[in-house]
Amino acid sequence: MRILTLFLFLFTLSACQSGGPTHAVIQTNRGDVEIMLYPETERHAANFVKLAEEGFYTGTLFHRVVPGFVIQGGDPTSKGATIDQPLGMGGPGYEIDAEIGAPHLYGAVAAARTQNPEKKSNGSQFYIVTGELQTDEMLDQIERIKGIKYSEAQRAAYREAGGRPDLDQDYTVFGEVVSGMDVVEAIAEIETGPASRPLEDIVIERVYIK
C-alpha cells in the first residue's frame, strides 16, 4: 500500500484557519473513510457539509469504480438501484461554480461534473482518487498540454504516492482523505460490471461531520 501523502502546501494554509479545517467521515459497508475539507474551496466544502447533515448521502452507492483511477459516489438515484439501472446522472438539482486549483494527488476528493464549459460541479457526486505513480516526464507532458506549473512538493507527491494529473484544472478538488485509504483501495479492487459499477453494492451508510 502506498503511503498517503497529504497536500502539505494546502494543509498548512488550512491549519491556519480559525478552528482548523472541517473533517467528515464517510461510513460504508466496507469501512470508514475520513476526509478533510478545504476551506479554500468554500462553496464545495459548505455544500458537502450541508448534504451530510441532511442525510442526503445515506443509502447511496459508490456506483463507479475504476482501478488506478477513482471511486465515485453521491448519486441519489443509486439508492436501492437495481443492478441494471444506469447511474451517474443524478444530483440534488443544482450545480456548484468551479473552485479549481488543487491537484489530483493520491487520496484527493473532488467533485464530478458534466462536460459543461464553465466546469461547474455536480451538486452531490464526488470521487476519491487512487491513481497511479507518475514520472517527471509524465508531469512535464501535462504541464505542456495544460499550461500547468507544478511545485517540487506537488511533483514529489505525484512521484511517490501517485494520482491523476490528467484531471488537473478540469475538476474541483475540495478535500483529501486523512484516514481510510485502505478502505478506498479495497473498494477499488472490487469486481465490476457494465459502466464500472461494482457487482456488489458498496453502500454509503452515513456521512457525518466531526
Over residues 54-97, the pLDDT tens digits come to 999 999 999 999 999 999 999 999 999 999 999 999 999 999 99
- 19 pLDDT tier (thresholds 50, 70, 90): low
pLDDT in tens, 146-157: 999 999 999 999
pLDDT in the model for residue 24: 98
What phi and psi values does residue 27 have, to the nearest 5 degrees? Answer: -90, 125
Cβ atoms of residues 139 and 155 within 8 Å:
yes
What Rg do the C-alpha atoms of the chain give, in angstroms?
16
C-alpha cell belonging to residue 14: 488550512
Pure H helices in the chain: 8-15, 42-54, 136-146, 152-160, 181-188
**In residues, how long is the chain?**
210
Mean pLDDT of the chain: 92
Domains with residue ranges and CATH for the chain: 22-78+98-209 (2.40.100.10)
